[in-house]
A and B are shown apart, each in its own frame.
Chain A
């Protein structure tokens, strides 16, 4: 059974088209043959569009368009093509695309967007290829195309028992016009053979045998190795450095100062050491002495932010949203709960430190980079080096962890600038200390909450004064430090008030996995538990009551964000509670906590079960997750994202904190910025409700509920309420 495109949901069709920039998407997704390069479009090489190549030898190559940082898109996106094209995934070659946004549209790894942005596009690209192969077979046999079927790389004509492999049809198919866009017929999801199954990562065989894949693995003839010393205080400038001494050290080819600019997302001022080997560069760096002009950030300290936040929290903030009459509801409440919550800066700590290999020759640049936004990297290098974009080639390597760090391209422009000055191909390698100290941190934040419970045990009012970091002029939050006026419980309560105050900050901030949500969920879902406690209500029951009737809340007025389908959230909440045995009797010292959060279009609820020993030792036993992101593409990859999100969230919640002292990041290694070791990892249970909605991404939405689920479980276990993170900073002992 086929689904004709004309019956395709109009809204998703328009959405897909709009994302391409005004309907151009189908134009490049289904680029006509004459737009493919002449060499590609030879008779022996069928290339119906930018994503698919079939050789006369039968070799099928599918292109993975987006950067792979562990989220699995190098496997899952080609699966979508393979499903519609009708080829066995085990027989195809998957190729990572370099940067070519004219051919592929936007190529980035962020916002859990790869699946929702590309699902329809890739289905149509695969289907167009299948239709041309079917047509080629029908013409070859002189039979109606409707009598032919495509499966496993073969077209068959059942009536005459004839069949031809795709490779045998490639030459003829290459001479056919592509199907009219309106005539493209997609498979019915009921007929899917591949989507929804478990497929191993395409690079796994190379990973387990140590093949060169990552940014740091790149090699070039004559490659030199560089390290770069940046001011320990962001924004600082080089006054002087002992370059002559460094230049004379073994293996060092050159050492120089790059002036750089003020913007930490661009080329920052520093001293480059270029050497024959990585170790020679690293060794020489230990002899480097730099005098810095530290600039304004040196006046900034985490402890001062904390103190200022408490001051501001005691005063009224600027009103951001006001529903009903919070003051009256608080005054008439049976119980009022007042709490202050805070969370720290966090680093990304990708296991592969930032690095980039660049070769600048005159006005042409070639870059090999583990970047989540190669297009952004190209723009930045073009702007900084004043070289036309078209002259900058970006090869996208496998990325040893992204988590949002590599949405920034500071290390790309650094490598390009060093290569330009050194007049040689250069690989820049950051140390772990560089990596932790020159990050774009998840911003710290503070929330001063008041909640009211009425005589019936319902939440009657909710007030939040959010104190957040802002730009120098206190006109807007810094990157990733804003809170949507529509964030839950806004829109779910009659009396709700959100206020905001700013602490000007120059600490570089950025997007960390599930930005915004990774902090907000902790605050909101913990405070709901406090209100449940005050009302003597079951935390699950109160959550379901808060969510209310099944309905769809429209997208926020800001236009940023999708609609909120309340029934989907209630379903995942009920399901995860059932799977976790919510409400079961546990001994003192052991408890369960529940939380939910909607982000990146994903509906996710989680339950954690922990023990807290009397001496305060925390053991996390289990975390259950139920997510509704629509249909699953690659089941193994989807489960991996949820497992990883839960462990990542636990790692941060339990032990991670970045602090700033006189503008400097204090933490410098995994000893003071610990990642969860295997021995502390709980059992994790992944469950999906595969609703019939368009599929959405899973790289992020399973992370936000972890922190509140764990903290609520700790309260259930021992009565200690966590209102600041990380957990390791709080004494959990009890009697």
Chain B
């Protein structure tokens, strides 16, 4: 089997895998980076989204041989300590239900915000249209992306959620924005 030297989350990683192996399975089985999820293997759900040179790609349809010397970023490498504005916003808005699609949602949103830190709602909808959520966390995804975009612009939104600083801690905030 051929050997590939991949640049993943800033580190060089050597793997011996078949040339047609999707990046998804290299990450999950060879590199123990299981944050990137298998949902369909057909590029239809977005759960496997990672960044290749900063752009969002579906790792289930990207063969390892095609990655070459490109820089791969997975959810584990999005920030050193889980402090990316999207990760913080996801916690503040208590976005996940089952949680399975969320790494893909966040990676797609991160690629969007890296290009455009003031996306309209339509731009958010369009960018994330290929990331399916079976639990229906979409309204909170929208809020969290707006919040993270504002944070990247150095602005503060008044959207409410659970208390991000306390982790599990309860907050006494008022009704969520959709019902206000």
Binding site for B on A (CB under 8 A): 69-72, 75, 88-90, 92, 94, 194, 197-205, 207-214, 216-217, 219, 225, 250-251, 277-280, 282-283, 349-353, 398-403, 429, 431-432, 636-637, 639-641, 643-648, 651, 669-671, 675-679, 681, 683-687
Q: Mark B124-155, 1 if CB is under 8 A from A, else 0.
A: 11101111111111111110000000000000
Apart from A400-B100, A403-B134, A651-B136, what are 7 other A-B pairs with CB-CB below 8 Å?
A: A200-B163, A210-B75, A349-B134, A401-B98, A677-B130, A678-B124, A678-B141
Structural contact, A201 and B167, CB atoms closer than 8 A: no
Query: Which residues from chain B contact A213 at a C-beta distance below 8 Å?
Result: 99
A72 to chain B, nearest CB (A): 7
B38 to chain A, nearest CB (A): 6
Structural contact, B21 and A279, CB atoms closer than 8 A: yes
Structural contact, B82 and A209, CB atoms closer than 8 A: yes
Contact A647 to B136, CB < 8 A, known contacts A90-B166, A283-B20? yes
- Bound Cα distance from A201 to B140, whole angstroms: 13
Q: Mark B7-28, 1 if CB is under 8 A from A, else 0.
A: 0000000000110111001001
Structural contact, A72 and B87, CB atoms closer than 8 A: no
Structural contact, B28 and A203, CB atoms closer than 8 A: no
Contact A200 to B168, CB < 8 A, known contacts A351-B132, A353-B39, A636-B94? yes
Contact A643 to B140, CB < 8 A, known contacts A201-B94, A677-B132? yes
A512 to chain B, nearest CB (A): 12
Q: Which of A637, A641, A679 contacts B125 (CB 8 A)?
A: A679
Query: Which residues from chain A contact B94 at a C-beta distance below 8 Å?
Result: 198, 200-201, 204, 636-637, 640
A-B contact pairs, 16 of them (CB 8 A): A90-B166, A194-B170, A198-B173, A208-B106, A209-B35, A210-B35, A212-B34, A214-B99, A278-B25, A278-B28, A282-B41, A351-B132, A351-B135, A352-B37, A670-B132, A678-B138
B171 in the interface (beta carbon within 8 A): yes
Structural contact, B170 and A203, CB atoms closer than 8 A: no
Query: Which residues from chain B contact A353 at a C-beta distance below 8 Å?
Result: 38-39
Structural contact, B171 and A678, CB atoms closer than 8 A: no
- Bound Cα distance from A644 to B139, whole angstroms: 9
Residue of A nearest to B173 (CB): A198
Structural contact, B139 and A681, CB atoms closer than 8 A: yes
Query: Which residues from chain B contact A89 at a C-beta distance below 8 Å?
Result: 168-170
Query: Which residues from chain A contact B6 at a C-beta distance below 8 Å?
Result: none
Query: Which residues from chain A contact B96 at a C-beta distance below 8 Å?
Result: 70, 201, 203-204, 207-208
Structural contact, A352 and B98, CB atoms closer than 8 A: yes
Query: Which residues from chain A contact B21 at a C-beta distance below 8 Å?
Result: 277, 279
Query: Which residues from chain A contact B161 at a C-beta distance below 8 Å?
Result: 198, 200, 636
Q: Which of B124, B134, B163, B179 contacts A685 (CB 8 A)?
A: B179
Structural contact, A350 and B134, CB atoms closer than 8 A: yes
Structural contact, B97 and A209, CB atoms closer than 8 A: no
Contact A70 to B135, CB < 8 A, known contacts A431-B41, A640-B140? yes
Structural contact, B91 and A643, CB atoms closer than 8 A: no
B146 to chain A, nearest CB (A): 13
B162 in the interface (beta carbon within 8 A): yes
Residue of B nearest to A675 (CB): B132
B161 to chain A, nearest CB (A): 8
Q: Mark B92-114, 1 if CB is under 8 A from A, else 0.
A: 10111111111100100000000
Structural contact, B44 and A351, CB atoms closer than 8 A: no
Q: Mark B24-57, 1 if CB is under 8 A from A, else 0.
A: 0100111011111111111011010000000000
Residue of A nearest to B99 (CB): A207
Structural contact, A401 and B136, CB atoms closer than 8 A: no
Structural contact, B18 and A279, CB atoms closer than 8 A: yes
- Bound Cα distance from A225 to B1, whole angstroms: 18
Structural contact, B100 and A208, CB atoms closer than 8 A: no
Contact A279 to B29, CB < 8 A, known contacts A209-B35, A639-B176, A683-B139? yes
Residue of A nearest to B167 (CB): A90
Contact A351 to B98, CB < 8 A, known contacts A88-B169, A89-B170, A681-B139? yes
Structural contact, B131 and A200, CB atoms closer than 8 A: no
Structural contact, A644 and B34, CB atoms closer than 8 A: no
Between A69, A212, A400, the greatest number of chain B beta carbons within 10 A of the residue's beta carbon is seen for: A400
B130 to chain A, nearest CB (A): 7
B80 to chain A, nearest CB (A): 10
A84 to chain B, nearest CB (A): 15
Residue of B nearest to A679 (CB): B125
Structural contact, B138 and A647, CB atoms closer than 8 A: yes
Structural contact, A351 and B34, CB atoms closer than 8 A: no
Query: Which residues from chain B contact A75 at a C-beta distance below 8 Å?
Result: 168
Residue of B nearest to A277 (CB): B29
- Bound Cα distance from A398 to B35, whole angstroms: 13
A66 to chain B, nearest CB (A): 14
Residue of B nearest to A645 (CB): B136
Structural contact, A279 and B25, CB atoms closer than 8 A: yes
- Please provide the 8 A-B residue pairs with the shortest distance between their CB atoms, ordered closest to farther: A210-B35, A647-B136, A70-B98, A400-B100, A197-B170, A210-B75, A90-B169, A70-B97
Structural contact, A202 and B22, CB atoms closer than 8 A: no
Query: Which residues from chain A contact B132 at a C-beta distance below 8 Å?
Result: 351, 670, 675, 677
Residue of B nearest to A643 (CB): B139
Structural contact, B99 and A219, CB atoms closer than 8 A: no
- Bound Cα distance from A403 to B135, whole angstroms: 9
B115 in the interface (beta carbon within 8 A): no
Contact A351 to B134, CB < 8 A, known contacts A279-B21, A636-B162? yes
- Bound Cα distance from A646 to B21, whole angstroms: 38
Query: Which residues from chain A contact B168 at a C-beta distance below 8 Å?
Result: 75, 89-90, 92, 94, 199-200, 202
- Bound Cα distance from A349 to B134, whole angstroms: 8
A64 to chain B, nearest CB (A): 12
Structural contact, B136 and A646, CB atoms closer than 8 A: yes
Structural contact, A208 and B91, CB atoms closer than 8 A: yes
Interface residues of B in 51-97 (CB under 8 A from A): 74-76, 78, 82, 86-87, 90-92, 94-97
Structural contact, A209 and B87, CB atoms closer than 8 A: yes
Structural contact, B139 and A200, CB atoms closer than 8 A: no
Residue of A nearest to B131 (CB): A678
Query: Which residues from chain A contact B41 at a C-beta distance below 8 Å?
Result: 282, 431-432
Q: Which of A250, A350, A400 contacts B99 (CB 8 A)?
A: A400
Structural contact, B162 and A198, CB atoms closer than 8 A: yes
- Bound Cα distance from A644 to B97, whole angstroms: 9
Query: Which residues from chain B contact A643 at a C-beta distance below 8 Å?
Result: 136-137, 139-140
B120 in the interface (beta carbon within 8 A): no
Structural contact, B44 and A671, CB atoms closer than 8 A: yes
Structural contact, B99 and A203, CB atoms closer than 8 A: yes
B172 in the interface (beta carbon within 8 A): yes
Structural contact, A399 and B98, CB atoms closer than 8 A: yes
Residue of B nearest to A355 (CB): B38
B149 to chain A, nearest CB (A): 15
A653 to chain B, nearest CB (A): 13
- Bound Cα distance from A678 to B131, whole angstroms: 8
A608 to chain B, nearest CB (A): 15
B53 to chain A, nearest CB (A): 20
Residue of B nearest to A216 (CB): B38
Structural contact, A678 and B125, CB atoms closer than 8 A: yes
Structural contact, B135 and A401, CB atoms closer than 8 A: yes
A359 to chain B, nearest CB (A): 18
A131 to chain B, nearest CB (A): 24
A559 to chain B, nearest CB (A): 33
Query: Which residues from chain B contact A70 at a C-beta distance below 8 Å?
Result: 96-99, 135
Structural contact, A200 and B167, CB atoms closer than 8 A: yes
Structural contact, A209 and B99, CB atoms closer than 8 A: no
- Bound Cα distance from A126 to B120, whole angstroms: 47
Q: Which of B95, B100, B135 contacts A648 (CB 8 A)?
A: B135
Structural contact, B97 and A640, CB atoms closer than 8 A: yes
Structural contact, A675 and B162, CB atoms closer than 8 A: no
Structural contact, A214 and B100, CB atoms closer than 8 A: yes
